[in-house]
Structure 1
Amino acid sequence: MTSSRTIASPFNLLPVALTGALCALGFGPVFGGWPGYLAAGGGVLLGLVLAWISAGRWGVALTTAAGIIIYIAFVGVLALPDTTIAGFLPSLETVQRGTLLVVQSWRDLLTVAVPAGVFSGPAVVPMLSALICSTAAGRLALTRRWYALAGVPMLVLLLVAILWGTSRAPLGGWIGFGFVIVLLGWIVIRQAHDRAVAHELSGFDTARARSWTRLLSAALVLAVSAGVAVMVSPMITGADRVVLRRFVEPPLDLRNYASPLMSYRYLEVDQKLVTQFTVHGLPEGSRLRLATLDTYDGVVYNVAADSAEFVRAGADIEPRRTSEDQASAMTMQVSIDGYRGVWLPGGGDLRGVTFNGANAADQTKTLYYNEGTGTALVTAGLEQGDDYQVQIVTPPPVDRATLADHGIEDVAVPSTERVPDAVLKKTAEIVAGAATSVDQVLAIEKALQEGYYSDGSDGQSMSGHSEARIESLLSLPEMVGDDEQYAVAMGLMLDQLGIPSRVVLGFYPSDGSVVPQRWEALGTDAHVWVEVPFNDLGWVSFDPTPDRDRRPETTVPKPNPKPRPQVQPPPVPPQEPPEAPMQLSDDESDQDNGWQIPWEVIKAIAAALGIGALAASPFLLIAALRDRRRRLRREAELPADRLSGGWAEIVDTATDLGIRVDALQTRREQASELAARVPDADIDRLAAAIDYGVFGDGTPREAYIDQIWATTALAASTMRASAGRWRRLAYFATPVSLARPAISGPLEKPQPIIRRLLGRKP
């Protein structure tokens, strides 16, 4: 039953639909077109349906519960199509991701690259905001008193489209203009309608009495609208359009930075004698780490793309989980010379980093640290003149003779892809006689050290560590390469054996000399090695690269003492003219240039809406039959029948709520029993007023009948509100009163409402 405070006409939802469509257009640029339109438009449509069903019937709690169900049912189709079953049915993944994205999607939409439509998840923002705002606006638009406030939720939706959008908004001005025109026009129409209704009921011309008031109100509304338009116009259009994307720093995306291993040959050859940086305080026997590489894709060994492991760091860093809290940290001073890059020399078990150079402020703000790999990254970059201190805990020396006693630790590492076939063959050949995993690691290291070293300056070794380069290293009769190739080959071999490992790029003296207190690291001091985790020892270093003095032999070809005379080649035979290529007709070449209708999306939406409509059809049918019965009673021919029909609505409501009403009692007796069950509904006074209108002298006026029906609607709403939660829910699925409707008078034979709706006599 519709409350007296609501209006049943669907016309009142039209302005919400129009402003919702305008807001949906605002999500187009950030999503690159139809993904934004689909999510926002679908959310508006679902919100309007929910508002129409719930207005005047359901409370806020029940409406919210229904909104949650609708969101879970349709979030897969509108925002997460890759998680659905058959393109429209929500799966367990849909429910899980949809729940998490209620919070996470707001951040994701601000941090992903535009257009966001290529990503799965950000579309939850327009769908969810449109669903909430259109539901709230629709419920307000259907009220008799607060309809003007329906523009507030839609304004919130418009602000979401602006703030979570992009600076590029070609339709921004038209959207804002249309939004204001629709709202003002609708308010004017509703006010005119309300004045006409008031004049019809009272007979007093309120329009003439309030002409000056309306004139002043209209002028005030126009002035406020003009002021708001002037203030928000920069937010809607222009290059200075205010969006949150400008003020939100996106998360670290390692795909923006090349693998540091790709620059190894440049350091080794081109920067061979160039000082990269100067280090003060590096402990004897230690290595200066630059980056830890733990994933391979067949092209490059890189830092794992899971940037969630990289966190912002500063002058103080908490000890990592695998280190001892009481371990004493030492201080290293690093001054940058020829080195250029974002990877911070001096990684490891860090306790803090303090920058001192001219770019210290920017470098401090953009320092990231991965405690699992000991890699530090400065997105602001490092260049000549930069200076910083590193607080670091150096690992103790490891006795290799005890490795077998500790055993290899089981550590999860990223998987590798596109491993060359030669890696499998060479690995099987090397570890054929190794009994344990530790023996296999040592055997691979020793076998690779028996190869030859070449930095490519002699033409014996190509740079890089791609699938093809590693294939040639291991398949040729003699292995020739540098640190880059040998370390990657060992890492791939260990991965095939299921032994966790990682590749590390760093610096230590190439000649094996002791590191002085002040050490100038040259390009030739750059090295690549492999680390394997051992129980109680941590990551232990292995050097598979041969000694740099182990060079491949080169032979100079002898000249031919008796060169043969050159023979003139025979003339080239004439060639037949080539066949002309087959030309495509204009129709064939242009047939795919037109826009294609997304039929799959339309089918998925239609199927989802069909399933939802089918599931809701029993409840909608009951609601429609009740509404039809109420209108038949309200529009009865005789005034007395219209008054008695109001009481029949009270009895039917009680019946569907599980309250038994004796049909043989008088109206006063029925009212007395119902008042005892629902004291707040004021049913006694309603029954007395109906009896006065039915049995009193004269014919009751229409205004009196309207008042009776308004009181009836309020009493029925109070009866439903006083029932328990489950009884209120069961009310919408209970058709008892449709099969056994209330009688108009205590002595009249009851007639089924379904039979009366069909126009049949019993």
Structure 2
Amino acid sequence: MRVVRLWGRVPPTPPTGAVAVGEVVLLLGILVLGSAAFLPLFDVAAGALAAAGAGALGLVLGVVCARTRLTALTTLALAAVVHMAVAPWVLPDVGSGWQAVLTVWSSLVTVWRDALTLPLPLSAFRAMTVLPWVTGLAVGTLSTRLVLAGRERLGGLAALLVPVVAITWGGRTVVAPTVLGPGLVALVLVLWAVASLRGRQDRVAAAMGEEDSGLRRASWRSGTQAVALVAAGVALAVVVAPTPPGARVVLRDHLEPPLDLTQYATPLSLVRTLETDLSHESLLTASGLPAEARIRLATLDSYDGVRASIGERTTGEARFQHVGTTTRLSQAEADGAGPVTLTVTGYSYPWVPMVADTVTMQMRGDRATALGENLYNDPASATAVVTAGLEEGDVLDQQAAVVSVPSDTTLRSLSVAQVALGPVSGVPASVAARAAQIVGSQSAPLDQVRALQQALRASYYSDGTRTPSEPGHGAARLASMVRAQTMVGDDEQYSVLMMLMCRSLGIPARVALGFRSETDGNTGVVTGEDVAAWVEIPFEGRGWVPFDVTPDRDQIPQQQSAQKVSNPEPQVLQPPLPRQDPAELPPAYQDDPHQDDQAPPRSLPVSLLVAGGALGAVVLVLVLIALLKSRRRLRRRRSPGLDAVTGAWDEILDRARDLAVAVVPGATRRETAARLGGRFPSADLSRLARAVDAQVFAGGEPSAKVRAALWDSADAVIAAMGAGYSRGRRLLARFSVRSLLRPASRPHRPRRPH
């Protein structure tokens, strides 16, 4: 049975001369124009220049490989060498020297993930220009090889991968879509039109016996008409192109940075530790800090009855994103920002101290690179987290715009802004009742806020050292606090209580935790005694305004002295108190020396990992075997002249070896066909052997049509050779290495006599 192949029997004719030059020039135009799509990703021209330059370099590489008839794998290896030899010296954000070489090598794998998880523009991060560079180099090499091989249609489509990658890895901003889109389509259509005219000219010339007869003149006329038609279509598309949609769905919208806040305890759990255990310890040293500036650690706008936290966005997008050295951390005006330097001394937590409002921040010190790679920021809450944690010696250089607190007269002329905040649940009913009791008949939001503030500040302060005061801000703790005759607590309880009271009245509010350096009068050194929590409320045109709600620390409740009893009751032995389970510390700050010993073994995930690795190695080997055989077959079929004919017979012999059938070395093709005929009765080996011999001994070069027919016959014979075997045996033969270790094309070497 004759097998009909889906691909054309006659291979495409490569372009030559001026036509080849014209097609390469058109391809260069597609690559350069498509590189403009990288402009929004970098907000500077570095990305577009890297893509265009790499595309031109890939085009030159493709021309060289095509003219020297290098294979696909050799071209790929040469492109990798060019990448490593050129990129470290021309890309502006990879460093210099051997560090640049290592950065380029590692970024070749990681840049595809980082470009999707990092916020735009990518120019704020290191080695991000590797993305457009690699894209331009690979696409330029591939598309040039396809065009010079006579496959202009595939080459034009491959060249469009440059803007496709830029759009896929980009954001919602586009660059002149009504010009860029039609321009790319026009260049691709012109390339296809030139290829179509060249193919028609070749066919007509072959039919007319290669006589001119006005063929060149007709081809030029047809080409001019095609170009004019494409130009008219592009002009029409530019004029009537509809306005691009304002919302675009991009790939980065479906990915979240790898930051999970649930692995960190709420920042408010630091209050008791800082204000008691580290009250006199130096945590930070500040330089350039204004006298009334606040250092912020985190802002919390959500509550679940157990703890206050940073709520998630209602749109489902991640709030924290990886930031770079020039990424804007807030929307404050950079013109009014001044330099502030914070040096870490005794602070060792992941929440990054920042002066409100910090516009940009850079890390210095021995761990600057590690900190920069693990820095995440949420502009909405003005909170930054460094997953590696801060240590002594880390330096934070910030550009901060300190905004003064407006007066009540100014605030009364403004309305409270309605902003999206995190959800609030599990709030005791007594909190809302106490808030309504305090505000009474006050209806203006500012008057209600001031009434709540005065009521809380008139209460008592206690951190649990001199007077009893339970820590935490769960629902039970707040309920007991508001039901008491006089409220007692510290910054942790009062700030959360104020936020919940305001939210019960419909006033948006959030809790802010940080340091107020003026607490002890020393603005240059921040100690644990300077820790503070306050409430922020947004006003139109002024942003978030802070309100201090914690009583002064000298407002300590008086201890009630017990009166002496003249006739004391006899002492009765009280029953022992029931045993209580020890309270669990927050996960990020729990310090249990036996915690690792009590953890259950995790042998199952390790076993699965080992098994998955072994399975992946086996699959990789099988894929490599299949690729090597496919490459060998393709090389044989594309060989010139008689090599393609003998290659078809070599493919038959390799198939026999893979099926564990011995092939006698040194035998003629007809002798081999006779010996193999008994093992493969369904395959017409003798007929194929005679056809191959007829071409080998006929003299001259076989035509492309004859070579294609012989290979079609060989494919049919190979399929018939496996007819007598089971499906599993044929599968084993497909991945057998017998023919790779000893291919039929290798000349036989007789053994030396002993």
- Shorter-chain TM-score range: 0.3 to 0.5
Larger Rg: 1
Q: What TM-score results when the alignment is normalised by the length of structure 1?
A: 0.39
